[in-house]
Amino acid sequence: MPRPRLQRRVNFSPQIAYFKPQGVQMNLLEIIKLSKEEIEALRLKNIKKLDQQACAVKMDTSTSTFQRILNSAYEKITVALTEGKAIKIEE
């Protein structure tokens, strides 16, 4: 049985949940889902300009786990931008 997933601290709730390419109907798009943890990691690292250790402390996780969350977010956003997919921020 896998270890239960720890609850991470997220202090941000986006008001907009979807982003999509302009001029394409939503029902024609594949959706890439970003978790609130991934959005929080992006916000702390790129907007608040914190180093990874400070970000990990704020999210109550290890530095290596923070790095995995951040890499996952970067990969999903890159796929959405380069392949013309929609982005949904999950609750």
Q: Is residue 69 part of a domain?
A: yes
Q: Is residue 19 part of a domain?
A: no
Using left for φ > 0, alpha for ψ between -120 and 50, and beta otherwise, residue 63 falls in alpha
Give the bridge partners for 34, in sequence order. Answer: 89
Could you tell me the residue range of the domain that residue 58 belongs to?
39-91
Q: Is residue 47 part of a domain?
A: yes
CA-based nearest residue to 35, from 3, 70, 64:
70
For the segment 29-43, the average pLDDT, to the nearest whole number, is 95
Q: What is the enclosing helix (H) or strand (E) of 37?
A: helix 36-42
Q: How many domains, in total, are found in the chain?
A: 1
pLDDT at residue 10, as a whole number: 77
Write down the pTM of the prediction.
0.85
For the segment 61-81, the average pLDDT, to the nearest whole number, is 97
Q: Is residue 91 part of a domain?
A: yes
Q: Is residue 87 part of a domain?
A: yes
Long-range CB pairs of 55-58 (<8 Å, 24+ gap) are 58/9, 58/11
